[in-house]
């Protein structure tokens, strides 16, 4: 499909619609700074139409389908996504900037997520509760109703599907608001969902800005649940908006994740994994390693190997499939540059990078950056930068490593590299994060729940716990 054929309208109740105000906004290619398309700038009236369409669909044909039929539709969607994988990946690369290879991986993940939830749709069941001979008591798992999904730009369709597929498997209907930076694959998804044969109104997309369309969606009284991935700052606002009508929330709010390397680690593997953990998706990953904690005895050797590898990374437009594409937007580029200034003012040592590459005149490109001699209470050690920037620390003892790993506001992921089983499991118990990885990074799959503690949010996505975000328990008691 050519770019000019991508639908650039809201998808509401099975129809493509301009915003009622007729206003639009531009989405740009971060590699060239050129405009890719103009999409609707939706306001509360467009959101209201989408939520009402989803509400109507929930009480219509959708609720009458059996769970197996819902699963079958999802399975067909997974197959359609695989068949459009190359086209979808190109579109994601143009809109987000990531190397095409990474976008293709994203769509394999999207397919797997839908397949898993297709299979789960008819396996969601309640309990019977023994209350003695005079009463029969059982639970029914019911879908919440209309759910709102507000997603960021780093994995535009990956993160959208990570909650949308679960809500659909549970029997909810959906209104998705993609990030303003990357609306295109969500719109293309809508056309695929239509083609696959989902009833009208089950899945709706409205494009627009967070404060306008996003806030109206969270506040809408007919929305029964909200899932949000993005910044902690916006998460706080969404929680306050949702409080007005007491909606349940799933919040995934980023991290400041530590990759910890002990003296007995397989250093080759640790360096190799760190490359992906720090610089994958240009560092714009909530579960990226943005802090490296290195034992003093291997510090020099690790850093020599790591810096050597980092200096060889190829920075290029996503379509040229280098190692790093551009950052997603001018705002994110400015944010990264601001943190470089802060880190230098705080006295950290800039070992590599810290600027834009000189060979690329246009686009929001930024060099892979390493700060060493970072101390734990510097801002670059505490705050999420969301760029290819890593802060490196050294430690002497297990106690010191644990303390440094935990003393940040966030708690999403952590990784420990060691051959000592006692040490690995001690860290698994004591790290304050939603996920702990041992001798690897980005371990786990669509079956394994992920999410945060502390400022990284609450609620778990993926796996069966993820689907239960979209179900409520009804208890039925019968007196005999």
| Other CB atoms within 10 Å distance of the CB of residue 206 | 30
Residues in region 2-41 near ligand NAI by CB under 6 A: none
Cβ atoms of 351 and 380 within 8 Å: the answer is: no
Residue 388 in contact with ligand NAI, rule: CB under 6 A: no
282 catalytic per annotation: no
Q: Cβ–Cβ contacts within 10 Å for residue 109, how many?
A: 17
Interface with ligand NAI in residues 260-289 (CB under 6 A): 286
Determine if 152 is a binding residue for ligand NAI (CB under 6 A): yes
Considering beta carbons, is residue 150 or 270 the nearer one to ligand NAI?
150
Minimal CA–CA distance to 138: which of 127, 125, 152, 122? 127
Report which secondary-structure segment, H or E, holds 53.
Answer: helix 44-58
Q: Tokens representing 307?
A: 């810096």
Among 74, 118, 179, 340, binds ligand NAI (CB under 6 A): 179
Q: Six-digit token pair at 80?
A: 């359609």
Segment lying near ligand NAI (by CB under 6 A), choices 29-37, 137-145, 227-235, 418-426: 227-235
- Tell me the C-alpha distance between 269 and 213, whole Å: 44
Total residues at interface with ligand NAI (CB under 6 A): 27
b/e 123-141 (16+ beta carbons within 10 angstroms → b): ebeeeeeeeeeeeeeeeeb
- CB nearer ligand NAI, residue 339 or residue 470: 339
Q: How far is the CB of 423 from ligand NAI (least distance, A)?
A: 29
Distance CA 357, CA 147 (A): 42
Which one of 18-26, 247-255, 349-357, 389-397 is the stretch in contact with ligand NAI (CB under 6 A)?
247-255
Q: Which of 405, 282, 391, 273 is nearest to 333 (CA)?
A: 282
Q: CB nearer to ligand NAI: give 171 or 183.
A: 183
Query: For the packed helices 67-83 and 100-120, what is the interaxial angle rounded to 10 degrees?
Result: 160
The nearest distance, CB 111 to ligand NAI, in angstroms, is 21
The whole-angstrom separation of Cα 183 and Cα 278 is 26
Is 172 considered catalytic here? no
Residue 327 interacts with ligand NAI (CB under 6 A)?
no
Q: Which of 23, 34, 195, 211 binds ligand NAI (CB under 6 A)?
A: 211
* Alpha-helical regions (H) of 59-179: 61-64, 67-83, 85-96, 100-120, 156-170
CB of 56 to ligand NAI, least distance (A): 24
92 touches ligand NAI (CB under 6 A): no
Least distance in Å: CB of 263 to ligand NAI? 32
Beta strands at 34-40 and 146-150: parallel, antiparallel or unpaired: unpaired
Binding flag, residue 469, ligand NAI (CB under 6 A): no
Beta-ladder partners of 204: 175
Q: Quick check: 430 binds ligand NAI (CB under 6 A)?
A: no
150 counts as binding ligand NAI under rule CB under 6 A:
yes
**Residue 106 binding ligand NAI, by CB under 6 A:** no
Select 84 or 228, whichever has its Cβ closest to ligand NAI: 228
Residue number of the CB atom closest to ligand NAI: 210
Which C-beta is closer to ligand NAI: that of 170 or that of 238?
Answer: 238
Among 48-56, 98-106, 136-144, 172-180, the segment contacting ligand NAI (CB under 6 A)? 172-180
Residue ranges in 367-386 that form contacts with ligand NAI under rule CB under 6 A: 384, 386
Q: Does the footprint of ligand NAI cover residue 253 (CB under 6 A)?
A: yes
Report if residue 113 touches ligand NAI, rule: CB under 6 A.
no
242 lines the binding site for ligand NAI (CB under 6 A): no
Q: Measured from the CB of residue 384, what is the shortest distance to ligand NAI in angstroms?
A: 4
Annotated active-site residue in 102, 282, 286, 398: 286
Q: Does 463 bind ligand NAI (CB under 6 A)?
A: no
Among 237, 305, 423, 430, binds ligand NAI (CB under 6 A): 237
Contact 203, 174 (CB under 8 A): yes
Is position 252 an interface residue for ligand NAI (rule: CB under 6 A)?
yes
CA-to-CA dists, residue 88 to 3, 5, 173, 208, angstroms: 11, 13, 23, 21
Q: For residues 49 and 151, which CB has a smaller minimum distance to ligand NAI in the complex?
A: 151
Q: Which stretch binds ligand NAI (CB under 6 A): 54-62, 112-120, 224-232, 266-274?
A: 224-232
Q: Which of 92, 180, 252, 461 is catalytic?
A: 252
The least distance separating ligand NAI from the CB of residue 83, rounded to whole angstroms, comes to 28
Nearest to 383 by CA among 237, 256, 232, 254: 256
Q: Which residues of this chain interact with ligand NAI, rule CB under 6 A?
A: 150-152, 154, 177, 179-180, 209-211, 214-215, 218, 229-231, 234, 237-238, 252-254, 286, 332, 335, 384, 386
Q: Which residues are catalytic?
A: 252, 286
């Amino acid at each position: 499909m050519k770019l000019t054929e991508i639908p650039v309208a809201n998808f509401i109740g099975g129809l493509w619609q301009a915003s009622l105000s007729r206003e639009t906004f531009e989405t740009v290619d971060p590699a060239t700074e050129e405009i890719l398309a103009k999409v609707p700038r939706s306001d509360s009236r467009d959101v209201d139409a989408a939520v009402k369409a989803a509400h109507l669909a929930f009480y219509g044909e959708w609720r009458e389908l059996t769970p197996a039929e819902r699963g079958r539709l999802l399975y067909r969607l997974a197959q359609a996504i695989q068949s459009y994988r190359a086209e979808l990946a190109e579109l994601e690369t143009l809109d987000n900037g990531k190397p095409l290879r990474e976008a293709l991986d994203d769509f394999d993940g999207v397919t797997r997520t839908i397949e898993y939830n297709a299979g789960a749709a008819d396996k969601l069941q309640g309990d019977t509760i023994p209350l003695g001979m005079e009463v029969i008591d059982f639970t029914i798992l019911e879908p919440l109703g209309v759910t709102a999904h507000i997603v960021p730009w780093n994995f535009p369709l990956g993160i959208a599907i990570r909650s949308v597929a679960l809500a659909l498997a549970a029997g909810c209907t959906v209104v998705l608001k993609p990030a303003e930076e990357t609306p295109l694959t969500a719109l293309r998804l809508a056309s695929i969902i239509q083609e696959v044969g989902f009833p009208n109104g089950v899945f709706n997309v409205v494009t627009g800005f967070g404060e306008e369309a996003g806030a109206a969606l969270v506040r809408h009284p007919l929305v029964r649940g909200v899932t949000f991935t993005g910044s902690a700052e916006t998460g706080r606002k969404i929680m306050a908006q949702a409080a007005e009508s007491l909606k349940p929330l799933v919040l995934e709010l980023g991290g400041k994740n530590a990759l910890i390397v002990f003296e007995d680690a397989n250093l080759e593997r640790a360096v190799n994994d760190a490359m992906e953990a720090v610089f994958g998706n240009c560092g714009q990953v909530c579960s990226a390693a943005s802090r490296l904690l290195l034992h003093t005895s291997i510090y020099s050797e690790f850093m020599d190997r790591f810096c050597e590898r980092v200096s060889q990374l190829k920075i290029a437009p996503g379509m040229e499939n280098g190692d790093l594409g551009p950052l997603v937007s001018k705002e994110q580029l400015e944010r990264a540059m601001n943190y470089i200034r802060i880190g230098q003012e705080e006295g950290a040592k800039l070992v590599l990078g810290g600027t834009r590459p000189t060979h690329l005149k246009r686009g929001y490109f930024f060099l892979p950056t390493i700060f060493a001699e970072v101390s734990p209470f510097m801002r670059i050690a505490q705050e999420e930068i969301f760029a290819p920037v890593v802060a490196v620390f050294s430690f002497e003892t297990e106690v010191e490593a644990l303390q440094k790993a935990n003393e940040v506001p966030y708690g999403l992921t952590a990784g420990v590299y060691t051959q000592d089983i006692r040490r690995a499991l001690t860290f698994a118990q004591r790290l304050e994060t939603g996920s702990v990885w041992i001798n690897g990074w980005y371990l786990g799959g669509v079956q394994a729940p992920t999410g945060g503690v502390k400022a990284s949010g609450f609620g778990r996505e993926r796996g069966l716990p993820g689907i239960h975000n979209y179900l409520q328990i009804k208890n039925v008691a019968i007196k005999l």
